[in-house]
Every structure is written in C-alpha cells, then in structure tokens.
Amino acid sequence: MKTIAMIPARLDSERLPGKLMMDLGGLPIILKTYQNVVNSCLFDEVYVITDSLIIFNLIKDNGGDVFMSAVKHESGSDRIAEFASKINSDIILNVQGDEPFIDKLSLKKLIDIFKNDHYKKIDLASLMQPIDKIKDVESSSNVKVVVDNDNFALYFSRSIIPFNRLPNDKPNYYKHIGVYAFKKEALIYFYNSKPSTLEKFEKLEQLRFLENGKKIKMVETIYKGIGIDTMEDLINARKII
C-alpha cells in the first residue's frame, strides 16, 4: 500500500496573513511542518502543494518536493486533490501546513486504519481528541465531532454538539484535529463534486463527504499539538519550541 503525505500551503490566511512563513524555532512554519512529516519516516513521498511562489521556492531550496497549484481553491483538500490523479498512490494524507507539531503515532494510526479495513468500508479517516474545558467546547474555533458506536463520524460542527439537556450528566465532547487520510478515489471524488449545503454553512469541507454518503472513520488521539490560526497560537507554539 503506497502512502503519500500532501501538505496544502496557502500563504493568504484570513486570521493571520502570511502565517506559514512566520518564524517558529528558527524556521518558517511550513518548513517546520514539512520536515516533521518527512522525519516521521511513514511515507513513501511527501509533497507541499501551494499557490505561493514564496513557499514553493522555500521548499525547493531546502531540498523538498513541492507542486505549484494551478488555480485558487476553496479548501486544502481541493488543493491536494488537484494532484491526486497524477500520483501513483493508494492512500493520501492531508497534513495541515499550520500543524507543525503533528506526531508520528497519530499519523501511523491513520495509516493503520486502512491496513485493517478488510471490508473496504472506509473512504477517509481523521483524528479527534477529548475536550474537557467548557470554554474549549464553546469556542467556534474548535470544530466538534460526534461519532457512532464504531467511531464513524455522524456530524461536525463549530457549535456545541451534542447539546446537553441532562444537567446532572456530561456528554463526551471531541475536538476534530484537521489531519485526513483519504483513499485516492475518495479524494478525486471530492475534487469533482460541488460544495455541499452544510459545508457552505459551517465552512467545514469534511461535511461534503458526509452529505454525499461517504464514511469517515475517526481515530481518538491524545495528541495535543497546536494548529496555528492566530497570533496567540503562534506565541504558544514558540513557547513549546
């Protein structure tokens, strides 16, 4: 089973413009992320997919593999899907460019999901972690996910899900970690489909799969890395470094 990692890297960010080129431990964030994924030694190949000449040259000058995206895309999955049909692979992992602390164990869990999928039920897999603090549950920056008894995703939302009407009990809340592993054909299907209704409301690309009947297997992880969306996130990431 040939497994490839792709890192979508858009320079223009609404919350923190130019963030992927900002310094993190002496390196730009995107280069830090790329090196971390390569050093995991889990993948046959690792690529950065970008629409930025600055990022393209950075990765190229540091000996990395990079594609220049031909068009603007609505999501990271769209960006990597542009090249999915051109690459020989079975499984493609989408690792967010602003997740420099993603750990090897979590990536391996996603790959193993497909190795153990004997009945070929899974179209893609992703990560989730328990949320304990109510302020984190209430934050719309934290995408929540609810799952069925087999850990297949039922829904993703920026709102609080599930809604609790039992004041003496507390449901299990899970935060979605934006790392995906796709069957190649599922990723190509995504690229050829139109944004769905719920996807447009929530601004969550994974809802397009659910609305079209695709199966997303969620894998619980204790990984507590930082996705860098704001300056506060970057400051915290620098403290970790």
Which two tokens mark 114?
Answer: 């497909």
Mean local confidence (pLDDT), 31-38: 96
- Confidence at 174, pLDDT banded by 50, 70, 90: very high
User: What confidence score (pLDDT) does residue 184 get?
Assistant: 94
Closest CA to 150 of 180, 171, 181, 119: 119
In angstroms, the CA 61 to CA 183 distance is 31
What integer best gives the mean pLDDT of the chain?
A: 92
User: What confidence score (pLDDT) does residue 126 get?
Assistant: 96
Percent of the chain with pLDDT over 70: 99
Q: What is the 3-state secondary structure (H, E, C) of the chain?
A: CCEEEEEEECCCCCCCCCHHHCEECCEEHHHHHHHHHHHCCCCCEEEEEECCHHHHHHHHHCCCCEEECCCCCCCHHHHHHHHHCCCCCCEEEEECCCCCCCCHHHHHHHHHHHHCCCCCCCCEEEEEEEECCHHHHHCCCCCEEEECCCCEEEEEECCCCCCCCCCCCCCCEEEEEEEEEEEHHHHHHHHHCCCCHHHHHHCCCHHHHHHCCCCEEEEECCCCCCCCCCHHHHHHHHHHC
Mean local confidence (pLDDT), 145-160: 97
Give the number of other CB atoms < 10 A from CB of residue 92. Answer: 27
Q: What is the 3-state secondary structure (H, E, C) of 75-133?
A: CHHHHHHHHHCCCCCCEEEEECCCCCCCCHHHHHHHHHHHHCCCCCCCCEEEEEEEECC
Predicted confidence (pLDDT) at residue 121 exceeds the cutoff of 70: yes
In angstroms, the CA 74 to CA 180 distance is 16
- Confidence at 155, pLDDT banded by 50, 70, 90: very high
Residue-wise pLDDT tens digits, 189-231:
998 999 899 999 999 999 999 999 999 999 999 887 678 988 9
Question: 74 or 11: which carries more pLDDT confidence?
Answer: 11
Question: Taking CA 135 as the corner, what is the angle to CA 153 and CA 7, rounded to the nearest 5 degrees?
Answer: 50
User: What confidence score (pLDDT) does residue 71 get?
Assistant: 66
Percent of the chain with pLDDT over 90: 71
User: What confidence score (pLDDT) does residue 38 get?
Assistant: 96
Q: Can you name the residues that pair with 145 across neighbouring β-strands? A: 156
Mean local confidence (pLDDT), 172-195: 92
Mean local confidence (pLDDT), 40-60: 96
Predicted confidence (pLDDT) at residue 119 exceeds the cutoff of 90: no
User: What confidence score (pLDDT) does residue 178 get?
Assistant: 83
Torsion angle, alpha carbons of 49, 36, 186, 175, to 10: -110
Residue-wise pLDDT tens digits, 52-107:
999 999 999 999 999 998 767 777 788 888 888 888 999 999 998 998 988 899 99
Contact 188, 81 (CB under 8 A): yes
